[in-house]
Amino acid sequence: MSKELTRMPLMPLSVLDLCPIVSGGSAAEAFARSLDLARLTESLGYRRFWVAEHHNMPGIASAATSVVIGHLAQGTEKIRIGSGGIMLLNHSPLVIAEQFGTLQSLFPGRIDLGLGRAPGTDQTTVRLLRQDPDLTGAEFPKRLDELQSLLGTPAPGQRIRAVPGAGLSVPIWLLGSGGFSAQLAGQLGLPFASAGDFSPDNILAGLELYRRGFRPSRALTEPYAMVGINVFAAETDEEAIRLATSHLQAHLSLARGTPIELPPPVGSFEEVFPGRLEDSSFLRGSIIGSPATVRKGLHSLRQLTRADELMIHSMIFDHQARRRSYEIVMEAFDES
């Protein structure tokens, strides 16, 4: 092993899944594949399996995030299942407290509540989702405070309680792709998850804000940061690049305002994006390659970010190839 890849202490790996609907497939098939993946990653030693709230996206089946979490938790035994995340401004804090109180009651000690302040969709859909479509991210701290109160120990004389939910201490994470949530997580002493898979250029600045402003709390005595990253692993660099072209096609379609089901892969990046692909956030937020390439990439990410945990996201069209990618990641990580 080269000096560059000197072994580092073990740290947890986790999974972010969007329950991808592949071209020509169905949501039911997506849920079955996600459960299979959750069981596999549980057996491999991954710590968490999170799903994310998105709406009006043909290729993502995890819109009813709390329901999907229940499905995944029921079908697994020990891996933590959670949201990466629930978009809190789309919901009443009381409803989220009740939903996650229910999940925590059914699956005690295994539920995580990751929260984001973005809508998880386009502005037209936001108008249908929210009672107040003009609600802005500035309201997020107030909604978060309400949610924490509902999940905490009820105060004497408190008239409204989350049942179930009150007193269950569901672990709350703040998710962010910029500085707002990072700073807020530090101020409140909550764990922070950086969305490096789609906003890689903001990882280091967000982590710095989080760590510099951290205040100990009942939840944490010191900062705890998780970094998300796209990983496409295969036996060769060429095959990994081919697998990654599915996500790239979906990524570019979403950026153009025309989200699609996850398409089958093509031969190369150039077939999808002729030109300066190296300038794209997709590549900067991804590790793509053979076991050796993945090992080096994960090692570099750990050194650069000093993350306490990494969350791996792999949007791969072929389910068996997606399973193998997560196997390679864990094998490579164990050797780094």
Q: Report the share of the chain in percent with pLDDT over 90.
A: 79
- In order of their start, the domains of the chain are 10-170 (3.20.20.30), 230-336 (no CATH)
The closest alpha carbon to 79, from 45, 51, 35, 30, belongs to: 45
- Contact in structure between 170 and 115 (CB atoms under 8 Å): no
Please give the backbone phi and psi of residue 11, each rounded to the nearest 5 degrees, phi first. Answer: -145, 160
Query: Cβ neighbours of residue 94 under 8 Å, at least 6 residues apart?
Result: 146, 150, 160, 162
* Sign, Cα dihedral of 269, 272, 274, 278: negative
Q: Report the share of the chain in percent with pLDDT over 70.
A: 93
Answer whether residue 3 shows pLDDT above 50. Answer: no
Answer whether residue 175 shows pLDDT above 90. Answer: yes
CA distances from residue 60 to 20, 54, 55, 174, 199 in whole angstroms, order as listed: 5, 7, 8, 22, 19
Q: How confident is the model at residue 278 (pLDDT cuts 50, 70, 90)?
A: low
- Residues 11-20 have pLDDT tens digits of 899 999 999 9
- Residues 224-244 have pLDDT tens digits of 999 999 999 999 999 999 999
Q: How confident is the model at residue 259 (pLDDT cuts 50, 70, 90)?
A: very high
Range 274-303 average pLDDT: 88
pTM over cut 0.95? no
Q: Look at residue 134 in the predicted model and tell me its pLDDT.
A: 66
Query: Cβ neighbours of residue 268 under 8 Å, at least 6 residues apart?
Result: 241, 242, 245
Q: Give the tokens for residue 188.
A: 């409140």
Q: How confident is the model at residue 331 (pLDDT cuts 50, 70, 90)?
A: very high
**12-32: b or e for each residue (b if 16 or more CB lie within 10 Å)?**
bbbbbbbbbbbeebeeeebbe
Q: What is the mean pLDDT of the chain?
A: 92
Q: How confident is the model at residue 131 (pLDDT cuts 50, 70, 90)?
A: low
Per the rule left: phi > 0, alpha: psi between -120 and 50, beta: everything else, 120 is left
Answer whether residue 125 shows pLDDT above 80. Answer: no
- Contact in structure between 229 and 286 (CB atoms under 8 Å): yes
Answer whether residue 56 shows pLDDT above 80. Answer: yes
Range 142-160 average pLDDT: 93
